[in-house]
Structure 1
Amino acid sequence: MSSAVVRRHERRISPVFLAVLAVMAVTGWAVWTDFAALPGVAVFMFVVSAWIVSLCLHEYAHARTALHSGDTSVGARGYLTLNPFAYTHAVLSVILPVLFVIMGGIGLPGGAVFIEQGRIRSRWKQSLVSAAGPLANVLFAVVCTAPFWLDALDGVPPAFRYALAFLAFLQVTAALLNLLPVPGLDGYGIAEPWLSYELKRKIAPYAPYGFFVVIGLLFVPAVNGAFFDAVDALMRSLGVDGLNRLCGSELFRFWQGTPPEAYCPL
C-alpha cells in the first residue's frame, strides 16, 4: 500500500462521525419545524449530538495543529478521521462529558489526543497545539450565538433559539474549564513548554488528578459562583441572556417534567 493511499485512509472522515452529524441535522430540523410531538426530546437529541460533534472537532483541532507542527503520528492513530472512539481515552473524551451534560448541564473538558511532543521542536507550536482545542469550542460558541449577536432572531423558532443558547453555554463552559492552567487540561498544556524541566518533573505525577480537582472545586460555592459569573458575562457579550439559556436547559431536561411554557413560550 502506497504512502499516498495510507494518507488518504488516515484522513477519511469516520462513518461514526457522519452518523452523529446526521443525527444532529435531523434533530435540528425537528426542533426548527416543531416536528416532534415532544420538543424537549428533539432538543435533547439535537444538543447531545451537536455536543459530540464539538468534542470531535475539539480533538481534531489538537491533532490537525500537531500534524502541521511536525507530529505525523496523529494520522496513524486515527485522530484525523473525527472518530470519537479513536481517542486515547474515549471514556474521558466523549462518554464522561456527555454524561456530565445530561446530569450537570455543563461542558466538561474531555481527555486529550496523544501528541508526541518530541516531534514538535518549537515551544510556540507546542502551546498552539494545546490551545487549538479550546479555540474550536470558542468558534463553535460564536457560530451558535451568531443569530443573537447579529440581531437576526426574527424567524428563528423559540425552541431552536433556546437549544442554541444552551449549546453555546456548554461550549463556553468547556472552553473556560479547558483553559485553566491545571495539569491535565489544555491551559496547562499551553504553559508547560515554557516551564523548567525540574518544575515539569515535579508536576507530572499530579497531572492525572487535575481533571478531578477541577470538578471538586466546582462544588465549592465561592469557586462555583465566580466561574459561572464569568460564563454569564461571556454569554452576555455574545448576545445571549440568561433566560434563553435557562429555557434551553429546561427543554433539554425534558424528563424532569418541569413545564417551561410559563416563562419559555414555544
Structure 2
Amino acid sequence: MTTATTRPSERRISPVFVGILAVTAVSGWAVWADIAASPGFAVFLFVTAAWIVSLCLHEYAHARTALHSGDISIGAKGYLTLNPLKYTHTLLSIVLPVIFVIMGGIGLPGGAVFIERNRIRGRWKHSLVSAAGPLTNVAFALACSAPFWLGTLDGTPTAFRFALGFLAMLQLTAAILNFLPVPGLDGYGVIEPWLSYRIRRQVEPYAPFGMLAVFVVILIPSVNAGFFDAIDTVLRGLGVSDLDTCCGRELFSFWNGGNGFCTDLVGR
C-alpha cells in the first residue's frame, strides 16, 4: 500500500504538532542563548517538548508502517497528521509518558494508535509495524548523541549539552524498555505473530497492565540501578558521559533545587 490510498488532508501536518515543534525550537534556543531567568526551567521545557515530539514520531512510525502494510484505515483516523490529540488514548500516549519522565527520568512511550491488524497479511509485516515505534526512538537517541560521538561539541553551551545528554538517555531507555517482550509493549508485538494462538489468548488479558508493570518493576532499587548502569554503558559508548546525563536530569528537575554543582557549571 502507498499513501495514494489516503486523502491529502489526512496526511497534512497538524497545527498542534507544529505548535509543539515551535515550543521545542524556542525553548531550545533559550537554553542555547542562556536568556532564561531559570536555566533549569528552560531545560525542562525544551526536553519535555522534544520528548512529546518523539512520542508523536514514535506513533507516526507505527501508523505509517501499518498503512504501507495494508491498513488503509490509518489515514481516516488522523494518525498521519502527527496530532497527539488524535491518538486513541491521550492519557496513555502523552500524559503518562511525561509523568514517567518527571517522576523518574524514564522514557517509556505508551499505547496510542489503533491498528486494524486483520487488514495486514504476513507475520513479518505485523512484527515490523510493532518495531517501527521503538526504532524511531533509536534514531532519535542517535541524533541527540551525534554531537557527542562526532566530537562537535566545542563551543556548545553547557546547559544545552546537558539537555541533549539527558534527552539521549530518555530516548535510549524508551527504545530498550519498549523492545521488552512484555504484553502491551512493542517488543511483545514483534514476537506475538510468531506465537501460537493458545499462548496469545492466555497473554491477552495482561496486555493493558504491561506498561505499568514495567514502570513499577523499574522503580525497584536493585533493578533500577542495574538498568541505568546498562544505559550508562551504552551512552558512554556514544560519547555521552555520566556528568552530561546527571546534570541534564538535575537541571530538568529544577523544582528539586539540586546540589548546585550543575548550575555552577552552567554559569561558568
**TM-score tier after normalising by the smaller chain length:** over 0.9
Deviation at 1:263, TM superposition (A): 6.5
Q: 162-171 or 226-235: which moved more?
A: 226-235
Which amino acid in 1 is paired with 2:14?
A: S
Q: 217-226 or 56-65: which moved more?
A: 217-226
| CA distance in 2 between partners of 1:143 and 1:219 (Å) | 28
Aligned pair count reads: 264
Contact 1:251 1:260 in 2 (8 A): no
| CA distance in 2 between partners of 1:7 and 1:79 (Å) | 13
Partner of 2:252: 252
Deviation at 1:226, TM superposition (A): 2.3
Query: What secondary structure is seen at the aligned counterpart in 2 of 1:264?
Result: helix
| CA distance in 1 between partners of 2:56 and 2:127 (Å) | 20
Query: What secondary structure is seen at the aligned counterpart in 2 of 1:113?
Result: coil
Aligned CA distance change for structure 1 residues 216 and 262 (closer, same or farther; 3 Å): closer
Same amino acid, percent of matched pairs: 66
Matched, 1:133 2:133: yes
Deviation at 1:261, TM superposition (A): 4.0
Query: What secondary structure is seen at the aligned counterpart in 2 of 1:154?
Result: coil
| CA distance in 1 between partners of 2:218 and 2:110 (Å) | 16
Partner of 1:167: 167
- Report matched runs for 1:47-196 at 5 Å: 47-196=47-196
Partner of 2:265: 264
Deviation at 1:4, TM superposition (A): 7.4
Deviating above 4 A after TM superposition, structure 1's stretches of 4 or more consecutive aligned residues are 3-6
RMSD over aligned Cα atoms: 1.6
Aligned CA distance change for structure 1 residues 129 and 243 (closer, same or farther; 3 Å): same
Provide Cα deviations, 1:37-95, integer angstroms capped at 9, x if missing partner: 21111111100000000000000000001111111111111110000111111100001
| CA distance in 2 between partners of 1:97 and 1:104 (Å) | 11
Contact 2:247 2:262 in 1 (8 A): no
- Report matched runs for 1:6-85 at 5 Å: 7-85=7-85
Contact 2:13 2:81 in 1 (8 A): yes
Contact 1:32 1:159 in 2 (8 A): yes
* Structure 1, unpaired ranges of 5+: none
Deviation at 1:6, TM superposition (A): 6.1
Query: What secondary structure is seen at the aligned counterpart in 1 of 2:265?
Result: coil
Contact 1:179 1:187 in 2 (8 A): yes
Which amino acid in 2 is paired with 1:133?
A: G
| CA distance in 1 between partners of 2:69 and 2:30 (Å) | 41
Partner of 2:215: 215
Which amino acid in 2 is paired with 1:60?
A: Y
| CA distance in 2 between partners of 1:129 and 1:178 (Å) | 13
Matched, 1:197 2:200: no
Provide Cα deviations, 1:114-148, integer angstroms capped at 9, x if missing partner: 11111110111110000000000010011111110
Aligned CA distance change for structure 1 residues 187 and 6 (closer, same or farther; 3 Å): closer
Deviation at 1:213, TM superposition (A): 1.4
| CA distance in 1 between partners of 2:85 and 2:128 (Å) | 24
Deviation at 1:197, TM superposition (A): 0.7
| CA distance in 2 between partners of 1:5 and 1:187 (Å) | 29
Query: What secondary structure is seen at the aligned counterpart in 1 of 2:47?
Result: helix
Contact 1:59 1:113 in 2 (8 A): yes
Deviation at 1:156, TM superposition (A): 0.8
Which amino acid in 1 is paired with 2:26?
A: V
Q: 96-105 or 132-141: which moved more?
A: 96-105
| CA distance in 2 between partners of 1:81 and 1:260 (Å) | 42
| CA distance in 2 between partners of 1:250 and 1:52 (Å) | 20
Q: 225-234 or 185-194: which moved more?
A: 225-234
TM-score normalized by the length of structure 2: 0.94
Contact 1:250 1:260 in 2 (8 A): no
